[in-house]
Chain A
Amino acid sequence: MDLFVSQLLNGLVYGLLLFLLASGLSLIFGLMGVVNLAHGSFFMLGAFIGLSVVSYTGSFWWALVLAPIPVAIAAAAIEILLLRHLYKRDKVDMVLLTFGLSFVFTDLVEWGWGKDTFSLSEPASLEESLEFLGGYFPQYRLAIVVFGLAVALLLWLLIEKTRIGAMVRAGIDDTRTAMGIGLNVPLLLTTTFASGAALAGMAGVVAGPILGVYSGVDVEVLIPAFIVIVIGGMGSLKGAFVGSLLIGIADTFGKAYMPEASMFLIYAAMIVILLARPHGLFGQAAS
């Protein structure tokens, strides 16, 4: 029972970390039709910048607040200087561009910080464990659950209940009509791309104490995030949320109870869901 509850918590933690990554990935895909292979790089960049901020300021919290800013700026620059010029071309060109960028970011990170694995220490105020349901749980992990759920709620409110969110959904539904009735779609794309990147960068900092900080962590998190949005449905925030929890929990339980088969379990789940619902749990047929 103890093991079960603590695995469930770990699954939630991993799932919510995936959500921070997958939500941006999914909205960007919905708006631009682009699978952003550099999205993991934003996560990695956030983690490394967070590492440096901690070493200068000694504060995890400063890292959490500051690291997403340069990541968002880099993403906005990429969208404006590079991606924007490819929108009228074949989608494959954009995917290849983001693929190339992911190598550039890996090189940049290795050039700046080296190839070692660093660990970001969790904030001192959350170092202890709490006794809870008959077991001990690290405070930091519980904090991630609260933080992840809070971000999910805020994102949901932003996308579903505000005018800006309605603009994003309008762009996802029909970019052309959105332009035709006067929405500044280019600005919407830049903002969404940069915000998604900031969220990924923030996820990098939050995950630092758990996953570690190293070049290569980008691929490590990007692949499950892709599985999440394929399962949940591209362009759907709800899908990203449900998919993240599903994959987070399935992966954690798989590793705990059937380590040899854990990777297989996730892909098998993906195949079953895709056979039953080709557009994912909450996705819609492309228009």
Chain B
Amino acid sequence: MLRLENVHAYYGLSHILHGVSLEVGDREIVSLLGRNGAGKTTTLLAIMGFLEPGPGTITYRDRRIGGLAPYRISRMGVGFVPQERGIFGNLTVEENLTVAARRGSNGAWTLKRIYELFPRLRERAAFRGSKLSGGEQQMLSIARALLLNPDLIILDEPSEGLAPLIVQEILDILLNVRAEGVAVLIVEQNLRAALRIADRHYVLSKGKVCFSGTSEQLNADETILKQHLGV
């Protein structure tokens, strides 16, 4: 579904990604791990088209998407849940959900279904986005991405700063979403969360992939766990 081949990326003059290759298949949950500054967020921003395209190719459903504007990439069926959640503070919860909603390939997600899945959001439908708690904002950001009816959802550290119980709830929702046929690419600092939901993992270090494999393989690789994940 999504494939990166030897992707390089730059912030101004600094060279952040040094040839990242990774792949997300249909209905797969893939995690992107690594220490701060390893290039995880940069990888997501490169996929979403927020960075000037560098060397390497990014393809989504066999179409090259490097150089396309972010909104075009999103409209091809990619749901984005940014770091810091990106809630529009001046929009109500309901406006946040509907402002960009689209039918996608099958229109499976509707506002009604979202409210069934996230009853908290229905209770707060008329609140401004800025009035929500951190956990509610994260739910809203994920719900908003689902209403784009994506085939792939990309999340940047959804568990950051949230209580363990809410993290659980979010992970359950992502498993649920995958069961509906949506692929997931998730950047995580929380190794346990990643091991719980992802089928495969990539570990980044200094802008390169230094490990890729299943949860079992990752659990067995003492060096990677110690050196790059601080376990």
Give the chain A neighbours of B99 by CB distance below 8 A.
163, 166-167, 170, 181, 183
Give the chain A neighbours of B89 by CB distance below 8 A.
173, 284
Give the chain B neighbours of A186 by CB distance below 8 A.
69
- Chain A: which residue is nearest B96 at the CB level? A170
Give the chain B neighbours of A172 by CB distance below 8 A.
90
Asked if B88 contacts A179 (CB within 8 A), the reply is no
- Chain A: which residue is nearest B144 at the CB level? A181
CB within 8 A of A182: which of B50, B71, B88, B90? B71
- Chain B: which residue is nearest A174 at the CB level? B86
CB within 8 A of B80: which of A163, A170, A181? A181
Residues A149-191 near B (CB distance < 8 A): 163, 166-167, 169-170, 172-174, 176-186
Asked if A179 contacts B71 (CB within 8 A), the reply is yes
CB distance from B217 to the nearest CB of A (A): 32
Residues B68-100 near A (CB distance < 8 A): 69-71, 74-75, 79-80, 82, 86, 88-91, 95-96, 98-100
Asked if A174 contacts B69 (CB within 8 A), the reply is no
CB distance from B85 to the nearest CB of A (A): 9
Asked if B48 contacts A180 (CB within 8 A), the reply is yes
CB distance from A280 to the nearest CB of B (A): 15
Give the chain B neighbours of A182 by CB distance below 8 A.
71, 74-75, 100, 102, 148
B 108-145 to A, binary, CB cutoff 8 A, 1 in contact else 0 = 00000000000000000000000000000000000011
- Chain B: which residue is nearest A171 at the CB level? B88
- Chain B: which residue is nearest A186 at the CB level? B69
Give the chain B neighbours of A167 by CB distance below 8 A.
99-100
- Chain A: which residue is nearest B79 at the CB level? A181
Asked if A180 contacts B74 (CB within 8 A), the reply is yes
How far does the alpha carbon of A284 sit from the alpha carbon of B90 in the complex, in Å?
Answer: 10
Interface centre among A170, A172, A176, A185 (most CB of B within 10 A): A170
Residues A96-132 near B (CB distance < 8 A): none
Interface centre among B50, B79, B80, B145 (most CB of A within 10 A): B80
How far does the alpha carbon of A173 sit from the alpha carbon of B144 in the complex, in Å?
Answer: 16
How far does the alpha carbon of A181 sit from the alpha carbon of B88 in the complex, in Å?
Answer: 12
Give the chain A neighbours of B48 by CB distance below 8 A.
180
| Given A176-B50, A182-B74, CB of A169 within 8 Å of CB of B148 | no
CB distance from B33 to the nearest CB of A (A): 22
Known contacts A167-B100, A180-B74; 20 additional CB pairs below 8 A are: A163-B99, A166-B91, A166-B98, A170-B91, A170-B99, A173-B89, A176-B70, A177-B80, A177-B86, A178-B88, A179-B50, A179-B74, A180-B86, A181-B74, A181-B144, A181-B145, A182-B74, A183-B71, A183-B100, A184-B71
Q: Can you give 13 A-B contacts (C-beta < 8 A)?
A: A166-B95, A169-B88, A169-B90, A169-B95, A170-B88, A170-B95, A170-B99, A177-B80, A179-B70, A180-B82, A182-B75, A184-B71, A185-B71
Interface residues of B, Cβ cutoff 8 Å to A: 48, 50, 69-71, 74-75, 79-80, 82, 86, 88-91, 95-96, 98-100, 102, 144-145, 148
